[in-house]
Amino acid sequence: GLRAALAKNFIASVRTIDADILCLQEIKSRPEQLPPAALAELCELYPYQTWNPAERPGYSGTATLSRLQPDDTGIGLGYTEYDSEGRVTIHHLGDVILYNIYFPNGRNDLSRVPYKLDFYARLLEQCDQLHQTGKQIILTGDFNTSHKEIDLKNARANAGSTGFLPEERLWIDRYLERGFVDTFRQLYPEKV
């Protein structure tokens, strides 16, 4: 959570990164729950902020902090079952739409895998519609899925675990087939 990160010199790290836009996932807090001095410092560093905390206290949530003034912002995908968990913030910057996403976890007992796969489907549907209007889309955040064996240190040990199930990995394929690019893998094709 963000409050725990703030207690571990998060703001000093942010200053070192010196990013124009900072996308945070699993924040587990609302801005008013942060120490006032820390919130003031974040506001000074990033004057344009979009917060989407989960309705359930101490759970999930996303925040996009920006030095660049967005043309528009949004939260959620428009589906109550996901939006109550604070999983998406959106910044419109010209023809570029930046999605900051905390994708659902399928749980150890795999009970939320269908929920997770439906989230992937609904987001891709939305992206397809935006692409048809000429928008460029950046998806960033915690995907909660490793696409290929190279993306995990112990792929064999995780073969039956959520985050590396074939049906989850297939959704990453679908996004790539629609023109999205895994920028990490493109920059570091051999890095485990």
Q: Quick one: pLDDT at residue 106? A: 94
Q: What is the pLDDT of residue 43?
A: 96
pLDDT of 62 = 98
Position 124, amino acid = L
Distance CA 147, CA 3 (A): 30
What pLDDT score does 68 carry?
97
pLDDT, block means (10 residues), the chain with 192 residues? 94 95 97 95 97 93 98 96 96 97 95 97 97 97 96 91 96 96 96 92
What pLDDT is recorded for position 85? 96
From 72, 109, 118, 142, active-site residue: 142
Residues in the chain: 192
Is 20 part of the annotated catalytic residue set?
Answer: no
What is the rounded (10 degree) CA torsion for 129, 112, 25, 28?
A: 130
Rounded Cα distance between 90 and 87, Å, is 10
Per-residue confidence (pLDDT) for residue 143, from 0 to 100: 95
Among residues 8, 2, 64, 55, the alpha carbon closest in space to that of 28 is found at 2
For residue 173, the model assigns a pLDDT of 97
pLDDT at 4: 93
Q: How far apart are CA 81 and CA 107, in angstroms?
A: 16
Give, in order, the Cα–Cα distances in Å from 109 to each of 105, 151, 166: 11, 22, 16
List phi, psi (to 5°) of 122: -70, -40
Stated pTM of the model: 0.94
